[in-house]
Chain A
Amino acid sequence: MGSIDTYMRNAWTRLETLLESETVFVRALWYVPVFYFFMEFMAVNQLAAIEAAESVQLTWSWVIGWLWLIPQGPENASTIFLLMLFAGLTLGAISYQRRISRIIVFLVILQFQSFRIALTGSEHEFYIPLYVSFLYIFLPDVWRAAPSLSTRKKFLVLYWGAMGYVASVYFMSGATKVIGAVNQISHGMVSYFSFDAAALYVASILNLFDRTSILGPFIVDHPLLGWCGLMLMLYVLLGSLWALFVPELHRLWGFGLVLFHVSTLLAINIVFYHFPFFAALFFIGSPFAPVKSHWRDVLRKLPLFGLVISRLIRGRDDAARTLV
């Protein structure tokens, strides 16, 4: 426990050094408008879903409770929220430099996400935009004049916080699966750690949604290979919070998370368009990641296996030195 604490403290000290880097700051600066432009794209994507659900009754929610106070509010909810989303997110794309615009973007997403939940009962796609836009409200004004070191550090620590939210999403997805597995094992049931879990998982989801998938038949016929993929997926999900503190791992983890979404599509034919974008934006494109890093440095820093790999590499280097 003590060594993990020391490791994390050292990792944070190294990260704080990066917060002072002007190069890192300039890179992060460009990613903020990219986020707001992508919000506009997400707004367009909502059109079809809302039209399909127009006739369905809304469930009351405290966030959008005002809708019931205006005449014909719930009946016209689709139009109201769509207009609100477009107006708010367009404002964000045009004037993200102004705090008031960023506040409006956050409020619009808060409302829209609540509306989608009131409509369908469950909606996850706007959680990352919701919390990232919340953190971005507090970004200091760095667009008008050359910012001071303290201002740059504040900007970057907030950007890192946004990365942290994305990492926490994936970590929780992995952690809840492990908790579920422990619970199922304790009841003598098949769990995620059972060798046929991937085959059952694929068959069950494809049954549920009445779909087929590219890799589905292969995984059902080769459950052990599927299980290896499942364990790798759990490793990537659970390692997300660790990777957040290790800039050398940011790009690798970004690729891992995108690969997780690609494998989800290939195995169970479920598409999450927005999540891979955020994984790529915040981790593959991480401003904190070193421009060049040696594969050995990356492997040494892997969660759990890093220590073993580090010793193996050191042992091999020592052996090579002895030979020389």
Chain B
Amino acid sequence: MELPYSIVRNAVWIFLVFIVSSSFIVFFSSAAHEEYPFFSWALFQNAPQPVGHEDVIRFTHIDGRKLDEPVYTYDAAEVLGIVGRNQFIVWEQYLVAAITHKDAEAIRRHRLDFEKIINRPISYQLVTIEYDTIERWRTGAILSAEVIQSYTSGDGKH
């Protein structure tokens, strides 16, 4: 049975109104702005501030050797022999979120994932850094770093 044109047209209109409305609902109701199969398309919706804070992981030991200075994940491409932080940033962010939310099960799971991705014996710390956004980009300088938690790969202890 063929549907009349007017029904198809109205259905398309309802579909579009539904899509835009659901995007707004997901934006205001979900922390991740996503409830599959709905997404708000909120990408980088907040402007960065002149002085920023970031929870980030830094390595203190790699392959059992203590590093002269802790190496932040965003500077770790050379010491880890990888292309860049984008290779593991998603898993790093999960782990950071789990630690900051003090979710023991999520920490265990995301530590395993993170350590699998790095795939070398490591000791690492979660630190909160404070930085001048422009200056950090120009010179890499940060204003301060506060250690939140320390881990060693494979020890399974928090």
Among A168, A176, A199, A200, point to the contact of B27 (Cβ < 8 A).
A176
Q: Name which of A25-33, A67-75, A159-167, A305-313 contacts chain B.
A: A159-167
Among A63, A173, A191, point to the contact of B43 (Cβ < 8 A).
A173
Please tell me if B104 contacts chain A, counting CB pairs below 8 Å. Answer: no
Please indicate the chain A residues that have their CB under 8 angstroms from the CB of B19 in the complex.
131, 164-165, 168
A135 B32 Cβ-Cβ under 8 A: no
Please tell me if A194 contacts chain B, counting CB pairs below 8 Å. Answer: yes
A114 B47 Cβ-Cβ under 8 A: no
Please tell me if B84 contacts chain A, counting CB pairs below 8 Å. Answer: yes
Bitwise interface map of A from 175 to 204 toward B, beta carbon under 8 Å scored 1, else 0: 111011101100001111010110111111
Among B41, B47, B52, point to the contact of A194 (Cβ < 8 A).
B47
Please tell me if B66 contacts chain A, counting CB pairs below 8 Å. Answer: no
Q: Name which of A54-62, A86-94, A289-297 contacts chain B.
A: A54-62
A124 B39 Cβ-Cβ under 8 A: yes
Please tell me if A130 contacts chain B, counting CB pairs below 8 Å. Answer: yes
- Chain B interface: which size bin? 35 or more
Bitwise interface map of B from 1 to 18 toward A, beta carbon under 8 Å scored 1, else 0: 011110011011001100
A203 B137 Cβ-Cβ under 8 A: yes
Q: In the bound complex, what is the Cα–Cα distance between A158 and B11 (angstroms)?
A: 9
Q: In the bound complex, what is the Cα–Cα distance between A101 and B40 (angstroms)?
A: 29
Among B27, B32, B34, B84, point to the contact of A211 (Cβ < 8 A).
B84
Among A55, A113, A168, A208, point to the contact of B36 (Cβ < 8 A).
A113
Among A52, A157, A181, A209, point to the contact of B9 (Cβ < 8 A).
A157
Residue of A nearest to B85 (CB): A210
B116 A55 Cβ-Cβ under 8 A: yes
Among B5, B47, B54, point to the contact of A157 (Cβ < 8 A).
B5
Please tell me if A120 contacts chain B, counting CB pairs below 8 Å. Answer: yes
Please indicate the chain A residues that have their CB under 8 angstroms from the CB of B4 in the complex.
150
Please tell me if B75 contacts chain A, counting CB pairs below 8 Å. Answer: yes
B74 A203 Cβ-Cβ under 8 A: no
B41 A180 Cβ-Cβ under 8 A: no
B91 A56 Cβ-Cβ under 8 A: yes
B134 A220 Cβ-Cβ under 8 A: yes
A172 B9 Cβ-Cβ under 8 A: no
Q: In the bound complex, what is the Cα–Cα distance between A277 and B152 (angstroms)?
A: 45
Select the residue from B44, B52, B74, B94 with max chain A CB neighbours within 10 A: B44
- Give the number of A-B contacts (CB < 8 Å): 164
Interface residues of B in 62-91 (CB under 8 A from A): 74-75, 77, 84-87, 89-91
Q: In the bound complex, what is the Cα–Cα distance between A282 and B58 (angstroms)?
A: 45
B113 A180 Cβ-Cβ under 8 A: no
B39 A127 Cβ-Cβ under 8 A: yes
A199 B86 Cβ-Cβ under 8 A: no
B5 A154 Cβ-Cβ under 8 A: yes
Please tell me if B158 contacts chain A, counting CB pairs below 8 Å. Answer: no
B104 to chain A, nearest CB (A): 16
Q: In the bound complex, what is the Cα–Cα distance between A122 and B40 (angstroms)?
A: 12
Q: In the bound complex, what is the Cα–Cα distance between A201 and B48 (angstroms)?
A: 6
Write 29 A-B pairs (CB below 8 A) sorted by A numbering.
A52-B87, A56-B91, A63-B37, A110-B37, A120-B90, A122-B32, A124-B39, A127-B39, A140-B2, A151-B2, A157-B5, A165-B19, A173-B43, A175-B24, A176-B27, A184-B46, A184-B47, A189-B47, A191-B47, A192-B47, A194-B47, A200-B133, A204-B48, A204-B52, A204-B137, A206-B137, A207-B131, A209-B84, A220-B137
Add 7 more A-B contacts to A127-B39, A190-B49 (CB < 8 A): A122-B32, A175-B24, A181-B47, A192-B47, A203-B138, A207-B136, A210-B85
Give me the interface of B with A, judged by CB distance under 8 Å.
2-5, 8-9, 11-12, 15-16, 19-20, 23-24, 27, 32-34, 36-37, 39-50, 52, 54, 74-75, 77, 84-87, 89-91, 94, 109, 112-113, 116-117, 131, 133-134, 136-138
Closest 3 CB pairs between A and B? A204-B48, A180-B45, A203-B137
